[in-house]
């Protein structure tokens, strides 16, 4: 198969934001638009030859088409291997997990996070580096510079490949591994949390509901909560990823996840409720007749961190974004550990995490995470709350009130 050199001209609107490039689907469907930005990413990574790239997205409209284009462009740009999630799917936390587990050079995530999906809605693309975290400003600036002067892109002349079955094969001189998008992530969660304790919780009178909002976390939630932890079938609702998220808005808050909130505030409410967003990095936590604000969620989890096996020796420090309340600072001071304030944008936690300065971090926009990866992680936060409930034997409202 030949590598084609396609002539193009720059687009003036391809400057990445804190979470990559997000535009309407129709903008990305313009001739050369996606290809220009992908080539700009590759041009900003001169040492890519022979390296491994992780690729996947949240399943929104145009995800599958973009995957095929990027695979052929990766083959035309000298990447040695691409690990792609089966069906073109990967949650954002799972991409970070796989990058770190496989020693990949980086990853491309196709998502517009909590924005609506569909042919008239949003699409997005961002690059994560070898630590598993979002590209730092130096790299996004280099991508922006490359996009303003691009004159052509390289793409392999070939047909679409089968991404719906786990397999390893070659595309030109590049190896493609189509893998289970859930496996590496679920294995990591089992190492962090005490799954035996969580199984016992699920076997009691405890009832929970997880709303995947027809977004990417559905397959992860079915595997972890229902299959591995033994929660009853039906615990996970809206668990099939749809290209338009079922016509809903995949944003886990009291407005867009109102059916879940209504259920948790009903007379016969479950004990615990949670939701995640389009690409799986955000979370909303609810108790029976109780809503936990994201700022309080970070503080409570930090205060109870030693209930989780991976953090039983305590935290190194805590960081929060500037708009997030100082509740976590109070916890850090009580624990005698450092606390930090960062600008808005998850990438700004990366330096603190890589330097070993912090263990937990979070932001007021429903994002919580730890040093296990370099992205915020919705399901990690849910499992952390379940761990605190299992350890204390208390309901959510009492845990927060005691805190």
Q: Is 198 helix (H, G, I), strand (E, B) or coil?
A: helix
pLDDT at 214: 97
Whether pTM exceeds 0.85: yes
pLDDT at 301: 98
Neighbouring C-alpha atoms within 13 Å toward the C-beta of 178: 17
Q: How many CB atoms lie within 10 A of CB 3?
A: 17
Tokens of 334: 């009580």
Measured CA to CA, the distance from residue 175 to residue 169 in angstroms comes to 6
Evaluated on CA atoms 316, 355, 49, 87, the torsion sign reads positive
Which residues have a catalytic role annotated? 113
List Cβ neighbours of 167 (8 Å cut-off, separation of 6 or more): 177, 178
Point out which residues pair with 373 in neighbouring strands: none
Give yes or no for a contact between 379 and 218, defined as CB atoms under 8 angstroms apart. Answer: no
Point out which residues pair with 7 in neighbouring strands: 152
- The CATH 3.40.120.10 portion of the chain extends over 3-181, 185-402
pLDDT at 237: 97
From first to last of its 403 residues, what are the pLDDT tens digits of the chain?
A: 899 999 999 999 999 987 899 999 999 999 999 999 999 999 999 999 999 999 999 999 999 999 999 999 999 999 999 999 999 999 999 999 999 999 999 999 999 988 999 999 999 999 999 999 999 999 999 999 999 999 999 999 989 999 999 999 999 999 999 999 999 999 999 999 999 999 999 998 999 999 999 999 999 999 999 999 999 999 999 999 999 999 999 999 999 999 999 999 999 999 999 999 999 999 999 999 999 999 999 999 999 999 999 999 999 999 999 999 999 999 999 999 999 999 988 889 999 999 999 999 999 999 999 999 999 999 999 999 999 999 999 999 999 999 9
- Name the CATH superfamily for 185-402: Alpha-D-Glucose-1,6-Bisphosphate, subunit A, domain 3 (3.40.120.10)
Residue 230: Cβ-neighbour burial (10 angstroms; 0-12, 13-18, 19+): middle
Tokens of 68: 């095929």
Using alpha carbons, list the distances in angstroms from residue 219 to 211, 261, 344, 378, 379: 12, 22, 30, 14, 11
pLDDT at 388: 98
Tokens of 104: 């990949």
Give yes or no for a contact between 285 and 400, defined as CB atoms under 8 angstroms apart. Answer: no
The fold adopted by the segment(s) 3-181 is: Alpha-D-Glucose-1,6-Bisphosphate; Chain A, domain 3 (3.40.120)
């Amino acid at each position: 198969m030949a590598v084609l050199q396609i002539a193009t001209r720059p687009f003036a609107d391809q400057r990445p934001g804190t979470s990559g490039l997000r535009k309407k689907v129709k903008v990305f469907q313009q001739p050369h638009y996606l290809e220009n930005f992908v080539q700009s990413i590759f041009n900003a990574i001169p040492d890519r030859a022979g390296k491994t790239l992780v690729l996947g997205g949240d399943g929104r409209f145009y995800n599958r088409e973009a995957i095929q284009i990027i695979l052929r462009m990766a083959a035309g740009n000298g990447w040695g291997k691409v690990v792609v999630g089966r069906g073109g799917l990967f949650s954002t936390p799972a991409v970070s997990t796989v990058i770190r587990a496989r020693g990949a050079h980086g990853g491309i995530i196709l998502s517009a996070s909590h924005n609506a999906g569909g042919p008239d809605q949003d699409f997005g693309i961002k690059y994560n580096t070898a630590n598993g975290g979002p590209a730092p400003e130096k790299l996004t600036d280099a991508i922006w510079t490359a996009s303003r002067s691009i004159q052509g892109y390289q793409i392999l002349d070939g047909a679409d490949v089968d991404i719906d079955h786990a397999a390893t094969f070659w595309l030109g001189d590049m190896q493609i591994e189509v893998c289970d998008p859930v496996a590496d992530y679920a294995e990591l969660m089992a190492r962090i949390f005490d799954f035996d304790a969580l199984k016992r919780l699920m076997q009691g009178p405890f009832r929970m509901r997880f709303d995947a909002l027809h977004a990417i976390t559905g397959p992860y939630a079915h595997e972890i909560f229902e299959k591995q932890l033994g929660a009853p079938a039906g615990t996970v609702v809206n668990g099939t990823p749809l290209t338009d998220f079922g016509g809903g808005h995949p944003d886990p808050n009291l407005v867009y996840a109102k059916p879940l909130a209504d259920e948790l505030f009903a007379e016969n409410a479950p004990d615990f409720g949670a939701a995640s967003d389009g690409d799986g990095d955000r979370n909303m936590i609810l108790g029976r007749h109780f809503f936990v604000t994201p700022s309080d969620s970070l503080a409570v989890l930090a205060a109870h961190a030693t209930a989780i096996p991976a953090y039983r020796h305590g935290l190194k420090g805590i960081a929060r974004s500037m708009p997030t309340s100082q509740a976590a600072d109070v916890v850090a001071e009580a624990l005698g550990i450092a606390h930090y304030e960062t600008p808005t944008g998850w990438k700004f936690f990366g330096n603190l995490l890589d330097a070993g300065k912090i263990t937990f971090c979070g932001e007021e926009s429903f994002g919580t995470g730890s040093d296990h990866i370099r992205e915020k992680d919705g399901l990690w936060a849910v499992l952390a709350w379940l761990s605190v409930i299992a350890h204390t034997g208390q309901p959510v409202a009492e845990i927060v009130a005691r805190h």
